[in-house]
A and B are shown apart, each in its own frame.
Chain A
Amino acid sequence: MAIGGDLAIGDVVVQGVQLTLVLVVAPFLTGLVRTVKARLLRRRGPSPLQPYRDLQRLLRKEVVLADSASWLFRVAPYLVFAVIWVAAALIPTFATGLLFSWSADMIAIVALLGTARFFLALAGLDVGTSFGGIGSSREMMFASVAEPAMLMAVFTLSLLAGSTQLSSVANFMLSQHVGLRISLGLVFVALLIVAIAENARIPVDNPATHLELTMVHEAMVLEYSGRHLAMIEAAAFLKLLLYASLLACVFTPWGMAAAGEGAIAYLVGIAAYLLKLTLAGVALAVFETSIAKMRVFRVPEFLGAALMLGLLGTLLLFVTRSL
Chain B
Amino acid sequence: MNLILVLVASLFLAAIAAMPLCRRPVGRPAVYGFTFAVCTAIVVAALPALSAAEAVAARVLPLGIPWIGAHFRLDPLAAFFLLVINLGGAAASFYAIGYGRHEQANERILPFFPAFLAAMNLVVLADDAFVFLFSWELMSLASWALVMAHHHDRGTQHAGYVYLLMASFGTLCLLLAFGLLAGTHGGYLFPAMREGSLPRFAQALVLVLVLLGAGSKAGIVPLHVWLPLAHPAAPSHVSALMSGVMTKVAIYGLIRLIFDLSGPPEWWWGVIVLVVGAVTAVLGVLYALMQHDLKRLLAYHTVENIGIIYIGLGLALAFLANGMATGAALALTAALFHVLNHSLFKSLLFFGSGAVLRATGERDMEHLGGLIHRMPVTTATFLTGCAAISALPPLNGFVSEWLTFQAILISPSLPQWGLKFLVPAVGAALALSAALAAACFVKAFGITFLGRPRSRAAAQAQEVDAFSTGAMIVLAALCVLAGVLPSLAVDALSGVVETLTAGARLPQQATMPWLSLIPVSAARSSYNGLILLVFIAVTSTVVAAFVRRLGSHTVRRSAAWDCGTPDPSPITQYTAGSFAQPIRRVFGRTAFRASEHVEMPEPASLEPARLRADLRDLVWEYLFAPIASAITYASGRINALQFLTIRRYLALVFAVLLLLLSGLALWQ
Q: Please report A residues at the B interface, Cβ cutoff 8 Å.
A: 2-4, 59-68, 70-72, 78-79, 81-83, 85-86, 100, 102-105, 107-108, 111-112, 114-115, 117-118, 121-122, 124-134, 136-138, 140-141, 143-148, 151-152, 155, 158-159, 162-165, 168, 212, 222-223, 225-227, 230-231, 296-297, 300, 307, 310-311, 314-315, 317-319, 321
Please tell me if B396 contacts chain A, counting CB pairs below 8 Å. Answer: no
| A126 touching B439, Cβ below 8 Å | no
Contact residues in A for B187 (Cβ distance below 8 Å) = none
| B536 touching A83, Cβ below 8 Å | yes
| A63 touching B554, Cβ below 8 Å | yes
- How many Å lie between the Cα of A317 and that of B574 in the bound state? 43
Q: A65 and B527 in contact (CB under 8 A), knowing A78-B540, A111-B398, A137-B574?
A: no
Interchain pairs with CB closer than 8 A, number:
296
| B435 touching A3, Cβ below 8 Å | no
| A105 touching B526, Cβ below 8 Å | yes
Partner of B427, one of A2, A152, A222, A321: A152
Please tell me if B566 contacts chain A, counting CB pairs below 8 Å. Answer: yes
- How many Å lie between the Cα of A5 and that of B565 in the bound state? 58
Kindly list the 10 A-B residue pairs having the minimum CB-CB distance in the complex, ordered from nearest: A133-B574, A4-B513, A128-B451, A125-B446, A82-B540, A59-B551, A148-B431, A141-B582, A140-B439, A66-B560
| A128 touching B536, Cβ below 8 Å | no
| A143 touching B439, Cβ below 8 Å | yes
Contacting residues of chain B (553-606) with chain A, CB-CB under 8 angstroms: 553-563, 566-567, 570, 572-574, 578-583, 585-586
Contact residues in A for B353 (Cβ distance below 8 Å) = none
For A4, give the chain B residue with the smallest CB separation. Answer: B513
For A163, give the chain B residue with the smallest CB separation. Answer: B524
- How many Å lie between the Cα of A310 and that of B525 in the bound state? 20
| B442 touching A296, Cβ below 8 Å | no
With A125-B450, A128-B369 already in contact, 8 other A-B pairs whose C-beta atoms are closer than 8 Å = A105-B527, A114-B435, A141-B583, A145-B432, A151-B431, A152-B428, A297-B582, A297-B585
- How many Å lie between the Cα of A98 and that of B460 in the bound state? 52
For B441, give the chain A residue with the smallest CB separation. Answer: A118
Interface residue tally on B, bucketed by range: 35 or more
| A104 touching B560, Cβ below 8 Å | no
- How many Å lie between the Cα of A185 and that of B516 in the bound state? 33
Contact residues in A for B523 (Cβ distance below 8 Å) = 163, 165, 168
For A312, give the chain B residue with the smallest CB separation. Answer: B424
Q: Shortest CB–CB separation between residue A57 and chain B, in angstroms?
A: 10
| A147 touching B442, Cβ below 8 Å | no
Contact residues in A for B391 (Cβ distance below 8 Å) = 111, 114
For B405, give the chain A residue with the smallest CB separation. Answer: A107
Q: Shortest CB–CB separation between residue A80 and chain B, in angstroms?
A: 9
For B408, give the chain A residue with the smallest CB separation. Answer: A155
Q: A112 and B393 in contact (CB under 8 A), knowing A70-B373, A140-B439?
A: yes
Partner of B574, one of A130, A144, A165: A130
Q: Which of B41-49, B256-264, B542-550 contacts A (4 or more CB under 8 A)?
A: B542-550
- How many Å lie between the Cα of A132 and that of B562 in the bound state? 8
For the residues of B in contact with A, the DSSP-based class is helix
| A68 touching B582, Cβ below 8 Å | no
| B421 touching A108, Cβ below 8 Å | no
| A103 touching B442, Cβ below 8 Å | no
Q: Shortest CB–CB separation between residue B253 and chain A, in angstroms?
A: 31
| B434 touching A147, Cβ below 8 Å | yes
For B435, give the chain A residue with the smallest CB separation. Answer: A147
| A165 touching B526, Cβ below 8 Å | yes
Contact residues in B for A104 (Cβ distance below 8 Å) = 393, 527-528, 532
Please tell me if B89 contacts chain A, counting CB pairs below 8 Å. Answer: no
Q: Which of A4, A64, A85, A137 is most buried by chain B, counting CB atoms within 10 A of its CB?
A: A137
| A131 touching B562, Cβ below 8 Å | yes
Please tell me if B489 contacts chain A, counting CB pairs below 8 Å. Answer: no
Q: Shortest CB–CB separation between residue A47 and chain B, in angstroms?
A: 22
Please tell me if B30 contacts chain A, counting CB pairs below 8 Å. Answer: no
For A303, give the chain B residue with the smallest CB separation. Answer: B586
| B516 touching A223, Cβ below 8 Å | no
Please tell me if B387 contacts chain A, counting CB pairs below 8 Å. Answer: yes
| A222 touching B562, Cβ below 8 Å | yes
Please tell me if B99 contacts chain A, counting CB pairs below 8 Å. Answer: no
For B409, give the chain A residue with the smallest CB separation. Answer: A158
Can you list 16 residue pairs at the A/B interface with Cβ under 8 Å? A3-B518, A59-B550, A60-B552, A62-B555, A72-B450, A108-B398, A112-B532, A125-B450, A130-B567, A130-B573, A136-B579, A140-B438, A144-B432, A144-B435, A158-B525, A225-B561
Please tell me if B447 contacts chain A, counting CB pairs below 8 Å. Answer: yes
Query: Residue-by-residue, is B441-483 near A (CB-CB < 8 Å gives 1, otherwise 0)?
Result: 1110111001110000000000000000000000000000000
| B560 touching A108, Cβ below 8 Å | no
Contact residues in A for B67 (Cβ distance below 8 Å) = none
Please tell me if B406 contacts chain A, counting CB pairs below 8 Å. Answer: yes
For B540, give the chain A residue with the smallest CB separation. Answer: A82
